[in-house]
Homo-oligomer: A and B are copies of this chain.
Amino acid sequence: MATGNPGFESLRPMLAPRSLAVIGASEEPTRIGGRPVQSMIRQGFAGELWPVNPKRDRVQGIPAYPGIDALPGVPDAAVVAVPGALAEQAVEALGRRGCRAAIVFTAGFAELGEEGQAAQESLVATARRHGMRLLGPNCLGLFNAPLGYYPIFTSAFDSGWPLEAPAGRGRVGIASQSGAYGTHLFAAARNRGIATPILITTGNEAEVTLGDAIGHLAGDDGVEVIACYSEGVREGPRFLAALEAARRARKPVVMMKVGRSALGASAARSHTASIAGDDAVTGAVLAEFGVHRARDTEELLDVAYAATPRIYPVRNSLGVVSISGGAGVMISDVAEEQGLPMPPMPEAAQDRLRALVPFSNPANPVDCTAQVFNDMSMVGAFARSMVEDGGYASLIAFFTSVGGSPALAPRLRAELNGVKQDHPDRLWVLSVLASPEGVRDYEADGYLVFPDPSRAVAALAAQGRFGEAFARPPRAPVPLPAVSLPATAPDEAEAKRLLAAAGIAPVPEATAASAEEAVEAARSICFPVVMKLLSPDILHKSEVGGVLLNIADEEAVRAGHATLMANAARNAPGARITGVLVARQVLGAVEVALGITRDPVFGPVAMVGLGGVFIEVLRDVALRRCPVDVAEAEAMIRSLRGFPVLDGARGRPKADIPALARALSALSAFAAAAGERLVSVDLNPVLVLPEGEGAFAADAVIEIG
């Protein structure tokens, strides 16, 4: 177990110790302190196993020790399975002896509220004092199967142990915040023939977090694919570093992050009692690193399984050969939804195939018809042409129960293998209904087997996205502006000055201290103009009558000034009025909102959405951690469902999308540079003019904490 990623070395004693003490070891193999001992005896733990039990000389047949001080050596790691306050005492005693890692099963900490939280903090402080890493408390433990190392309490092994990987296949490491769900994933993976050598469950995450666990798997040479389950990421920096480490190591990460619905989020809060980042922000972070966010267990396993051949096409495309036109249509539906291209076969190749089977339809999907029953060599000819002439990176061969027919399957297999052996770089799915043994045979030949072709499409599409994420060069750092926030929330004009200095253009405007200054300003800006009250004490100007539109001439400017002053005196009597803002009224622009919020875990987050119904009714926004460069900002804009509005829908001219992307990137850099006092920024609207004419912030609110 070489650890290629130095940042995560510190979990090594916990994952691969030379010796393990079990504090609270039980003679009874199904008890919490008995399961680890039983499992490690059965599976032949490669290190020293030292049960600690004050009442017994032997536990489950091996020598036991009355206390931590009586151990025959310093344990690299220890399971702590003693109740309540004894847990901290055990950690203290282990620390004094020089143990490096504690796996704490004991419950009754932060999951019970304030008092438990205090006990948990004390426990962690004890571990840290001794330089120990601590998993849990209230965790199920972990396993590292190749070492026979099972410091874990679960009944999942009653129906089988982790599998070894078939030759040439990647192994899947599992990191899970939930113990029960983590072992469920392991067992479900085993039932599908997937090797899962390592499982880490993080429980209350008082010290070791999901990020640590993923980071370890990213660096552990015993694992090629990473599957995760999360109820809410509690800690940002190590999580981000881990995802980047996995990306650089070309290890796909597949994650189920629950709590995406209102009901689910509320259930997650009551289950984990954790302060976690916003679900949508977490989703944006996962997308940023090319993590596949799975909707359910089966999708998670599908994608992880399809990652085991370790073929991640950078330019993915799908070719389909089938004996059912219907299946081809169904696959085409899913491929389009998944954004997986299915280009047609070259015309010349189609002509050759039609010459072979006159009524076939060899465009893609390629239906080779029931003719194959008469002449199975057609399958080989069609498949070879798809690979060599079509050049598809991914292929699905739909042969349903033909693939499970004792009479036909061997011929089918021989035909396909002939092609596959010449082209080992392609991702091949067989969609067949075969016995478990039949499936294993096909898998040994190197195929992925999916009974349901729709699920295969989604899993193949994911491999292409992994390939794209792996191929992406590390992002150049976004240059940050110098930002010096004022002591309190700035008024609109000051906010715009701050943002303009960071590269975000406001609508042409000027401040005026008097009615005549306002006339002067309007004259230089060009009519029509907008007039607004300026006050550091008024956040929402329109609510106090502080915004006037469509001011067409100088007389109207004077009248408007008087109106604004009167409205301020009447509706916001205590507010300091610093003047009025006179701004060009921009016509013919698309209104967009840009914003910054601060996520408790991931820090400042940039947001873009179209104005009007798109944000308020459809919640159509794109999010990204700050800062984002211009290319990523443009990708955010293009991901909006309402993007066609900017792109010339409904007979409008195309909007200046590059200018909007520059503004979004600049705003994100501003937020990244501004530090923790920046609570939020709201630019609403930003007016996006036609191509080449720019994007201008018409309003700006900066909140300071």
A contact set with B: CB distance below 8 Å: 30, 107-108, 111-112, 154-156, 158-159, 176-181, 183-184, 187-188, 191, 229, 231, 256, 258-264, 266-268, 270-272, 295-298, 322-330, 332-337, 342, 359, 361, 363, 365, 367, 370, 373, 400-402, 404-408, 433-435, 451-455, 612-614, 616-618, 641-642, 644-645, 649-650
Contact = CB atoms under 8 A, between A and B. Distances in A.
A259 B335 CA distance: 12
Contacts of A367: 271
A451 B229 contact: no
A608 to B, nearest CB: 16
20 contacts: A159-B401, A179-B324, A180-B326, A180-B327, A181-B400, A184-B400, A187-B404, A258-B326, A260-B333, A264-B329, A264-B332, A264-B336, A271-B326, A271-B367, A272-B325, A296-B330, A297-B454, A612-B613, A616-B650, A617-B642
B644 A296 contact: no
A392 to B, nearest CB: 15
Top 10 A-B pairs ranked by shortest CB distance? A178-B326, A180-B324, A296-B454, A271-B325, A264-B333, A261-B336, A181-B326, A158-B405, A184-B400, A264-B332
A405 B155 contact: yes
Given A187-B401, A324-B180, A359-B111, A330 B256 contact: yes
A333 B259 contact: yes
Contacts of A258: 326, 329-330, 333
A327 B181 contact: yes
Contacts of A337: 261
A342 B263 contact: yes
Nearest to A295: B454
A455 B298 contact: yes
Contacts of A451: 188, 191, 297
A488 to B, nearest CB: 29
Copies in the complex: 2
The secondary-structure label for the interface of chain A is helix
A308 B34 CA distance: 42
Contacts of A645: 613, 617
A260 B336 CA distance: 10
Given A261-B332, A402-B155, A455 B296 contact: yes
A324 B181 contact: yes
Nearest to A613: B645
A296 B333 CA distance: 10
Contacts of A191: 433, 451
A613 B616 contact: no
Given A452-B298, A614-B613, A373 B180 contact: no
A342 B262 CA distance: 12
Contacts of A650: 613, 616-617
A401 B179 CA distance: 12
B614 A336 contact: no
Contacts of A435: 159
Contacts of A454: 295-298
A201 to B, nearest CB: 10
Contacts of A268: 329
A183 B322 CA distance: 14
Given A433-B188, A452-B296, A158 B407 contact: yes
Nearest to A324: B180
Nearest to A649: B617
A2 to B, nearest CB: 32
Nearest to A190: B433
B333 A184 contact: no
A329 B271 contact: yes
Contacts of A183: 400-401
A652 B118 CA distance: 49
A61 B256 CA distance: 59
Nearest to A616: B650
Nearest to A325: B271
A242 B517 CA distance: 78
Contacts of A158: 401, 404-408
Contacts of A612: 613
A178 B324 contact: yes
B373 A155 contact: yes
B333 A261 contact: yes
A363 B269 CA distance: 13
Contacts of A108: 359
Nearest to A155: B405
A696 B634 CA distance: 41
A433 B271 contact: no
Given A329-B268, A330-B258, A404-B158, A433 B184 contact: yes
Contacts of A433: 159, 184, 187-188, 191
A404 B335 contact: no
Nearest to A438: B159
A396 to B, nearest CB: 13
A271 B407 contact: no
Given A180-B327, A258-B330, A264-B333, 15 more contacts: A108-B359, A155-B401, A155-B402, A156-B400, A156-B401, A159-B405, A178-B325, A181-B324, A258-B329, A258-B333, A267-B329, A296-B452, A298-B455, A613-B614, A616-B650
A645 B107 CA distance: 49
A408 B35 CA distance: 14
A406 B434 CA distance: 27
Contacts of A370: 180
Contacts of A342: 263
A691 B370 CA distance: 61
A544 B163 CA distance: 74
A612 B618 CA distance: 14
Contacts of A159: 401, 404-406, 433-435
Nearest to A269: B329
Given A159-B404, A187-B401, A373 B264 contact: no
A351 to B, nearest CB: 16
Given A191-B433, A191-B451, A180 B323 contact: yes
Nearest to A156: B401
